[in-house]
Amino acid sequence: MTGPDPDVVDRGSLNCREFVEIVTDYIEDDLPRAARADFDHHLDVCVGCTNYLDQVRATIALSRTAVLRGTDGDALTQSAREALFEAFRRSRNA
Ligand SMILES: [Zn+2]
């Protein structure tokens, strides 16, 4: 365990693009511990991605509803991914 490190805060070990790429893994609890720590850190310093995470969770909830209806075997379909990126773009331009 390490404490907060101001140098790490300044550098930002994870950028917004990387955040978007791994956000679903984070929600599914598939991230290695180190990557999860980077992700949590990014949430602390980036309001935009914090909002984005909320949107992704909502979108995945909708996607799961579709799966339960038997629409698709994947938890996250290609169209759902595209919707996520579109939501991200909107959140950044708001
Ligand atoms: Zn960010």
Ligand 1 centre to CA of 16 (Å) is: 4
Contact 46, 21 (CB under 8 A): no
6 part of a folded domain: no
d(CA 69, CA 48): 32
Q: How many A from CA of 48 to the centre of ligand 1?
A: 6
C-alpha 7 – ligand 1 centre gap (Å): 17
pLDDT of residue 8: 41
- Separation of alpha carbons 62 and 81, rounded Å: 12
- Residue 4 near residue 11 (C-beta atoms within 8 A): no
In angstroms, rounded to a whole number, what is the distance separating the alpha carbons of residues 80 and 60? 8
- What is the Å distance from ligand 1's center to 27 Cα? 16
Report pTM: 0.57
Q: Is 2 among the domain residues?
A: no
In a domain, 28, yes or no: yes
| CA-based radius of gyration for the chain | 15
In a domain, 41, yes or no: yes
Residue 18, domain extent: 12-93
Into how many domains does the chain fold? Answer: 1
pLDDT, one tens digit per residue, over 6-56 is 444 444 579 999 999 999 999 989 999 999 999 999 999 999 999 999 999
| Ligand 1 centroid to residue 23 C-alpha, Å | 11
Distance separating alpha carbons of residues 5 and 16, to the nearest angstrom: 20
Q: Kindly state whether residue 4 falls inside one of the protein's structural domains.
A: no
Residue 88 lies in a domain: yes
Closest to 34 in 3D by CA, of 56, 16, 14, 11: 14
